[in-house]
Amino acid sequence: MKRIDLNCDMGESFGVYELGDDAGMLEIVTSANIACGFHAGDPSVMAATLAKAKARGVACGAHPGFLDLWGFGRRQILGQSPAEIEAQLIYQIGALQALAHAQGLRLEHVKAHGALGNMANDDIELARTVARAVRAVDRELILVVMPGLPSERAGEEAGLRLAREIYADRAYAASGNLAPRKLPGAVLHDAQEAAARVLSILDTGEVTALDGTSIPVRADTVCVHGDTPDAVAMARAVRATLKGAGYAVLPMEEFL
């Protein structure tokens, strides 16, 4: 049977500010990437998101990023040493890990957020820093990576289990990385179009970039971002399309 995981970034509220329909997404996805307080989230939100995921049987992972609440972790933070970034990642993963432990949960995976993840997909040394941090916390954690890019190579070098990820709601650059959000067409909003695109990528093993370049990919997990108004409808359409095509939609831990 064909197997695939469906993941979503969540727990991105902060204090009195609410972002995303986490409850709605948790009815659909199989893995939750939970913000760790640097780009979004706070201890109360992190703990509450873990509890909601546990109640729905959704696997939990850490979604660490740059210390950038103002920019939601989507701004490049330059000038930091590898040791500084590694310590920040260990701090974030460890914080969520402790909150999970307090609820009898084990973290399943780590996925770098926003600018940190995009930069690591272009920079092998930064990718190695991310992989080192994950391995230092728990070498059994799954590292979520984009296929064919430095993050995948770094995870392989570190001996980590990898979940190769494709995106339902984002367009690709010719490099295989995500196209910058400022470009026209970089963010997809039509749920049915996105669902059909995901199935095409899985069936053909390739994705078409914005410039028409065909990029070979393999995938274990599909991401739908949770911070857009149409996120729940898109996730629902993607899951229904996958199941209709004969895919078992399961947490990545169950088949990797």
Total domains in the chain come to: 1
Q: Cα separations (Å) of 57 from 21, 29, 68, 88, 149? A: 17, 10, 30, 29, 31
Phi, psi of 230 (to 5 degrees): -100, 15
Strand pairing report for 142-145 and 2-10: unpaired
Q: Is 113 helix (H, G, I), strand (E, B) or coil?
A: coil
Phi, psi of 226 (to 5 degrees): -100, 0
Q: Cα separations (Å) of 166 from 44, 73, 152, 252? A: 30, 20, 13, 13
pLDDT of residue 66: 98
Q: Is 9 helix (H, G, I), strand (E, B) or coil?
A: strand
CB 151 within 8 A of CB 102: no
Please write down the HEC assignment for all residues of 131-171.
HHHHHHHCCCCEEEECCCCHHHHHHHHCCCEEEEEEECCEC
Amino acid sitting at position 250: L
DSSP state for residue 253 in the 8-state scheme: G
Phi, psi of 151 (to 5 degrees): -60, -35
DSSP state for residue 221 in the 8-state scheme: E
pLDDT of residue 104: 97
Can you read off the two tokens belonging to residue 84?
Answer: 């500084």
pLDDT of residue 51: 98
pLDDT of residue 189: 86
CB 163 within 8 A of CB 143: yes
Q: What is the residue range of 169's domain?
A: 2-254
Residue 152: exposure state from Cβ atoms within 10 A (0-12, 13-18, ≥19) = buried
Look at the pTM and tell me if it is higher than 0.85.
yes
Q: Cα separations (Å) of 81 from 67, 86, 134, 143, 204? A: 14, 9, 17, 22, 40
Q: Give the span between the Cα atoms of 27 and 150, in whole angstroms.
A: 33
pLDDT in tens, 190-203: 899 999 999 999 99
Residue 67: exposure state from Cβ atoms within 10 A (0-12, 13-18, ≥19) = middle
3-state helix, strand, coil in the chain (%, to 5): 40, 20, 40
Residues (pLDDT < 50) of the chain are none
Beta-bridge partners for 250: none
Can you read off the two tokens belonging to residue 135?
Answer: 């391995």
Q: What is the CATH number of the domain that holds 239?
A: 3.20.20.370
pLDDT of residue 249: 97
pLDDT in tens, 120-151: 999 999 999 999 999 999 999 999 999 999 99
